[in-house]
């Protein structure tokens, strides 16, 4: 089977061919650590966690090197620290720890490398100096800016012309800019702000230069795959391409670019200003992490994903059925020779078609009463990061407490006695969603697992 991925830079699917067969490199833009992550922030790490699993399946665990950065110096972090009357390090450390905890809750494996911007200042300064030496960056009023006019390929990644780029970006109008589209590589810091010494004065890096420097320092001048959300395509990734290509004598930053679509909330764009942002840590209080992960994989990664309560309930019901199949066959020892189902793998090899891959799991669960069948289910689900819990633990941990179930059954009995059939049916449906079937008989109501 051959892995194909949609390359944003070529606007089409391409067969994946790494530059070095022994070393496949993947870089994904990580969080800016100034607040808790919402469910939209979770889509890139979950999507590219699956991609990493697929790459490891094809090439071996040691043949894939995955880096996801931490932006731990940013104006938003500085503002947060000032509001809380604390340090930027305190703010960043707190939210980085929370982010990693949330990712673990979603079953996202840690990256091989996690470069931090504040630990990469020397690499950033070197990259900026290289651009100045090549005449493609300039110092002005304690700032250093990239000279967009010196790079003819600017706009090729996002497919935008100059007018669209200036209109669609938050372009700072500043007298020290040679061109309105020039972007900041280094900016001055006030005495109250964090900063580092540089040839251009005490200051701090711009956002875009950080990723370019961390990529070059950890993975090399040209990597195989660069991933991130579609919101980063312009200006962040466009600027990364420009400064990296210019500093690296024309070498491309990435051979393939992958971008995931947005997560909407009940068909509306998720936005803090609209107040419809769902934090991962809040969702994890009400739903198992695998349920959230399942929903994030339920749409093809390049397409928008609508986050709804119905989607969560459906994912929970589906996972309940899969876990019940495993529990029913708990005495079956999975075969160590079992392999990932070919249809599921073919779906993932087709630009991570996770909806198609998920649809295969039900068929595999139906055949999990044999060693080969159970092994195939577990191996295939693991490629998606699912069915990683003990079945009995899942059932006990995700169902209502026994006392609550008994109380609901009594309430239903009372409702039926009072001919309140709407309430009785609602309670029955509520328990059914938790995998509990109620069967009425002459001797009363008995319950069983679905």
pLDDT 10s digits, 328-353: 999 999 999 999 999 999 999 999 99
Tell me how far apart the alpha carbons of residues 290 and 280 are, in angstroms, rounded to a whole number: 12
Per DSSP, the three-state class of 341 is: coil
Tell me how far apart the alpha carbons of residues 280 and 39 are, in angstroms, rounded to a whole number: 5
Quote the pLDDT of residue 254. Answer: 98
**Residue range 200-226: mean pLDDT, rounded:** 98
- What mean pLDDT is reported for the chain? 92
pLDDT 10s digits, 132-172: 999 999 999 999 999 999 999 999 999 987 766 666 555 56
Quote the pLDDT of residue 390. Answer: 94
Same fold, 4-260 and 264-396: no
Is the pLDDT at 212 greater than 50? The verdict is: yes
CATH architecture of 264-396: Up-down Bundle (1.20)
Quote the pLDDT of residue 400. Answer: 54
Q: Can you tell me which residue has the tokens 């009072």?
A: 418
Tell me how far apart the alpha carbons of residues 264 and 369 are, in angstroms, rounded to a whole number: 39
Which residues, in sequence order, are bridge partners of residue 448?
Answer: 437
Quote the pLDDT of residue 434. Answer: 63
| Token pair in block for residue 303 | 């397409």
pLDDT 10s digits, 387-439: 999 999 998 877 654 456 667 788 888 878 888 787 788 788 877 766 677 88
Nearest to 27 by CA among 292, 177, 216: 216
φ, ψ (nearest 5 deg) of residue 391: -55, -45
Q: How far apart are the first and last CA of the chain?
A: 37
Q: How far is CA 174 from CA 143, 167, 184, 208, 250, in A?
A: 11, 16, 11, 18, 29
What is the value of pTM for the model shown?
A: 0.87
Residue 235 DSSP symbol: I
Q: Are 117 and 73 in contact (CB under 8 A)?
A: yes
Give me the percent of the chain exceeding a pLDDT of 70: 92
**Correct CATH for 4-260 of 3.40.50.2020, 3.10.450.50, 3.30.1330.60, 3.40.50.620:** 3.40.50.620
> In the chain, what are the domain boundaries?
4-260, 264-396, 399-449
pLDDT 10s digits, 357-401: 999 999 999 999 999 999 999 999 999 999 999 999 998 877 654
CB within 8 Å of 115: residues ≥ 6 apart: 67, 69, 70, 214, 217, 218
Tell me how far apart the alpha carbons of residues 8 and 157 are, in angstroms, rounded to a whole number: 7
Q: Can you tell me which residue has the tokens 């160590």?
A: 336
pLDDT 10s digits, 275-305: 788 999 999 999 999 999 999 999 999 999 9
């Amino acid at each position: 089977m051959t892995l194909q991925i949609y390359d944003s830079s070529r606007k089409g699917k391409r067969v994946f061919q790494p530059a070095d067969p022994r070393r496949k490199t993947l870089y994904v833009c990580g969080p800016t650590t100034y607040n808790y992550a919402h469910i939209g922030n979770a889509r890139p790490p979950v999507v590219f966690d699956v991609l990493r699993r697929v790459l490891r399946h094809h090439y071996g665990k040691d043949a894939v090197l995955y880096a996801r950065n931490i932006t731990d110096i940013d104006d938003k972090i500085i503002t947060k620290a000032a509001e809380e009357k604390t340090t930027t390090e305190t703010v960043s450390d707190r939210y980085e720890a929370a982010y990693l905890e949330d990712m673990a809750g979603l079953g996202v494996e840690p990256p091989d490398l996690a470069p931090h911007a504040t630990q990469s200042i020397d690499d950033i300064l070197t990259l900026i100096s290289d651009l100045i030496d090549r005449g493609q960056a300039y110092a002005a009023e304690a700032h250093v800016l990239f000279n967009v006019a010196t790079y003819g390929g600017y706009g090729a990644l996002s497919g935008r012309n100059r007018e669209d780029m200036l209109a669609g970006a938050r372009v700072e109008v500043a007298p020290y800019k040679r061109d309105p589209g020039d972007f900041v590589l280094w900016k001055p810091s006030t005495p109250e702000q964090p900063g580092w010494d540089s040839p251009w004065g005490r200051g701090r890096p711009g956002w875009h230069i950080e990723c370019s420097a961390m990529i070059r320092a950890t993975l090399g001048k040209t990597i195989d795959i660069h991933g991130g959300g579609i919101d980063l395509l312009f200006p962040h990734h466009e600027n990364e391409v420009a400064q990296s290509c210019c500093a690296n004598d024309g070498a491309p930053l990435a051979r393939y670019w992958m971008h995931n679509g947005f997560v909407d909330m009940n068909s509306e764009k998720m936005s803090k200003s609209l107040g419809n942002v769902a934090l991962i840590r809040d969702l994890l209080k009400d739903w198992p992490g695998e349920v959230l992960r399942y929903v994030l994989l339920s749409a093809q990664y390049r397409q928008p994903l609508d986050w709804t309560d119905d989607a969560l309930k459906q994912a929970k019901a589906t996972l309940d059925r899969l876990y019940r199949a495993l529990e029913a066959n708990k005495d079956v020892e999975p075969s160590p020779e079992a392999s990932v189902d070919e249809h599921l793998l073919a779906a993932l090899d087709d630009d991570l078609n996770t909806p198609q891959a998920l649809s295969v799991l039900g068929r595999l669960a139906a055949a999990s009463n044999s060693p080969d069948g159970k092994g195939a289910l577990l191996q295939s689900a693991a490629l998606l990061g699912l069915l990683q819990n003990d079945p009995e633990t899942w059932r006990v941990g995700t169902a209502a407490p026994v006392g609550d179930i008994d109380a609901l059954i009594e309430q239903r009995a009372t409702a039926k006695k009072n001919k309140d059939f709407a309430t009785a049916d609602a309670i029955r449906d509520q328990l059914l969603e938790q995998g509990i079937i109620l069967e009425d008989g002459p001797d009363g109501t008995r319950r069983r697992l679905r």
